Amino acid sequence: MSDNLVIVESPAKAKTIEKFLGKDYLVKSSFGHIRDLVKKGFGIDFEHGYQPQYVVSEDKEKVVAELLKYSKTAKTIWLASDEDREGEAIAWHLQEVLELKPEKTRRIVFHEITKEAILNAVQHPRSVDINLVNAQQARRVLDRLVGFELSPILWRKIKASLSAGRVQSVAVRLIVDREREILAFSAESFFKVAGTFLAGKTPVKADVAQKFGDEKLALALLKKCASATFTVTSIEKKPAKRTPTAPFTTSTLQQEASRKLGFSVSQTMRVAQRLYEDGYITYMRTDSVNLSEQAIAAAKDAILKIYGEKYLHTRRYTTKSKGAQEAHEAIRPSYMDRQNIEAGSQEKRLYELIWKRTIASQMSEASLERTIVTIDVSGAHEKFVASGEVVLFDGFLKVYMESQDDDSESESAGLLPPMKEGQVLQASSIVATERFTQRPPRYTEATLVRKLEELGIGRPSTYAPTISTVTTRGYVIKEDREGQVRTYKQHTLESGKITEKILKENTGAEKAKLFPSDVGMVVTDYLVEYFPKVMDFSFTAKVEAEFDEIAEGKVVWNEMIDDFYQLFHKKVEDALQNSQRATAERKLGVDPKTGKDVIVRIGRFGPLAQIGDTESDEKPQYANLQKGQLIETITLEEALKLFDLPRTLGDYEDKTVVVSIGRFGPYVRHDGKFTSLKRNVDDPMTITLERAVELIEEKRKQEREKVIKAFAENEELQVLNGRYGPYLACSGVNYKIPKEVEPSSLTYEQCVEIMSQQDGSTPRRFRAAKKFTDTKAKAAPKTKAKAAPKPKAAAAPKAKAAPKPKAAAASKAKAAPKPKTAATKTVAKKKKS
């Protein structure tokens, strides 16, 4: 048995570290957090300063038992979880649950998994930083309080199964506010005049800087140009420099990976996590742009070797984002001389992006020359301006150029032909084109992350989970939407004649944009009305700043919680008793067939249209709103069309085929079975019988090919074909099959091993299955009591909990009394003094 036990979060990280430390060190994984707040009730002791009540998770009992066994025999335990607050909390929980003695416990941190970094960390251990732990606990407790008190109000006042969160609700508000800006926007037309001139035989493109709001003024200029002389009046050349952008932080990596690679925010973090655990890059959750001296020196060596001395210009960047956390490094390669890695396709692409950005940050500026040529129009005060740009020295542009979010209509300036002042140019054509003011852009995941960071809301570790939460819960929809055809005018002057054309273009098309759902809009409106402080951007940022102060030891965490909760809880009581039910009901008009009112509102399963009311003898008719339709904007005509469904398409195999819209979207029903329509392809209003039959047969084929293998030992275990490839399924839980494994050749024992590795233990539900015959699992020691020994006072799972605030229960209107806490007494004394 090894004298040294090293505990990290993930098995992948454990394998990499074990290679560096050698046989004297045993490296084990905790598989993330080993315990969390109890699920029953708040999990917070209100009577004792909001102390959290923790319990070891069921799926971590075997992990804890194993770690406990190894920790008893080890002389030194090294807690090597990540260096951020979450990692510090994991280290503290391990210390508490395993009852580790301070004299034999070492906390080590590193921001890259290299031999040098690991050995250096072992040489410089420290103790667990309780301030960082308290900052994480404060966030966890505050989020639990907000979620557990707001969610039940939403169940009562809007619809069941809704939830609210301190950061997620503010993120949804950003998207809702932007959508309303877009809905309120009215495009205004104007005309831009551009000309193509000949300098000798070389064409030169130039624009009139002025925009013409009146078509007549644009036409008047074209008429003047028909008989005008075009003279070069000035040529101005200016040197210019372009400097590289800073190395990646979490948010800038998410943004650039979205723009350049098409990755979602969560996908970027998953791939970056794998790169970090395999030792290829530094820690991927950071808001720092700083590079260490060693990293700068390594980048310098790589640049000199690959590009030469003239491309070298080392520099140091400083972090400017609000509330940047501990002094981490930027995201960079662990080894600067490694341009390429042996890994999966996604990992290779993201690594290449990180390598290029880091190397470019230490390279020379690009030198450019910008030329601006002014062309005078005789008989008119307007002037044409041509601009060109030439790169004299590419510098960092040889390696990397940052992408932009906005879709710019302007073309990049190129090289202009030689011209002289006083030179007369010949006009080849001059065009006045109708253009339109642009509405505010909808958020992508990347631009939402940037906005959250600008406002100081959330931290690198929270951006991806926040976006994932609001989309999973249906408050926000990420999708593509088709644009609309728009006509515009174009007047062209050629050979002295002006002609007019009416042209068409597609406008408003959206790709992977974030749209609010009706439920998201209703929830946002309700929370803004009754909980304005929670939904205030500056307040949310202030809370993040207070977490930072707790991490620095400047603020007592439970006093900060108490200051918030006392006012917040009063708002909860008031909303429960006095707020009205929110349905966003809107009357559209009258149904011409029945003479009954047509309304749209939030129903039990989401937004719907309704003909008639519940008070009359005749039952109302209901229809679900379709994708892209909002309660705020749907028209009477659009709502009435919804009642054309269900549609009978005809018969197939002597059974009727019907198309309709249900709780989960449009579908075809045939012989008692349901088949979903293809998103962005099939329209329930226009789909034909032939197309419906295609979908039915396609689903039948998928179901026939779905089961790759089943096992007599346990009927619930199957190897299946899924949307993203083969996988294991057992008792409603799915497991990835390693790429190198042939799914059809898997044995029962191999399946058990795969699930055990991914669960962190043999699954309890699997061990309890009647037909489970794996002897190793049956022989597993019963270590439940040892796995979760009673921790110290404040964190004891068996500590007596305070009465649960009644606001948490959806069925009771009366809110909880103000909890008396240690922090409350402290605050009260302060106020008296």
Q: Which residues participate in catalysis according to the annotation?
A: 283
Beta bridge partners of 477: 515
Measure the CA–CA gap between 534 and 146, rounded to whole angstroms.
Answer: 9
Q: Measuring CA to CA, how many Å separate 196 from each of 143, 423, 492?
A: 60, 15, 11
Measure the CA–CA gap between 496 and 320, rounded to whole angstroms.
Answer: 56
Provide the 3-class DSSP secondary structure of residue 431. Answer: strand
What's the number of CA atoms in the CB half-sphere (13 Å) around residue 157? 27
Integer-rounded Cα radius of gyration of the chain: 32
Measure the CA–CA gap between 329 and 293, rounded to whole angstroms.
Answer: 11
Separation of CA 57 from chain center = 27
Sequence-distant (≥ 6) Cβ neighbours of residue 690 within 8 angstroms: none
In 625-782, alpha helices (H): 636-642, 689-706, 748-759, 764-767, 775-778
Q: Tokens representing 509?
A: 């098309």
Separation of CA 717 from chain center = 33
DSSP annotation of 17 reads H
> DSSP letters of 584-643?
--EEEEE-TTT--EEEEEEETTEEEEEES-TTSSSPPEEEEPPTT--TTT--HHHHHHHT
| 20 neighbors 115 (Cβ within 8 angstroms) | yes
Which of 426, 373, 381 has the alpha carbon at shortest distance from 224? 381
| 791 neighbors 797 (Cβ within 8 angstroms) | yes
Beta bridge partners of 194: 207, 431
Separation of CA 241 from chain center = 34
Which of 133, 136, 13 has the alpha carbon at shortest distance from 80? 13
Question: What spatial distance separates the first Cα and last Cα of the chain, rounded to whole Å?
Answer: 59
Measure the CA–CA gap between 478 and 678, rounded to whole angstroms.
Answer: 16
Q: Measuring CA to CA, how many Å separate 54 from each of 696, 720, 796, 797?
A: 49, 37, 7, 5
| 232 neighbors 422 (Cβ within 8 angstroms) | yes
Sequence-distant (≥ 6) Cβ neighbours of residue 475 within 8 angstroms: 168, 172, 516, 517, 519, 520, 523
Where does residue 77 fall: left (phi above 0), alpha (psi -120 to 50 degrees), or beta otherwise?
beta
What's the number of CA atoms in the CB half-sphere (13 Å) around residue 790? 5
Measure the CA–CA gap between 237 and 571, rounded to whole angstroms.
Answer: 63
Q: Which amino acid is at 667?
A: Y
- State the residue for tokens 């709502």: 639
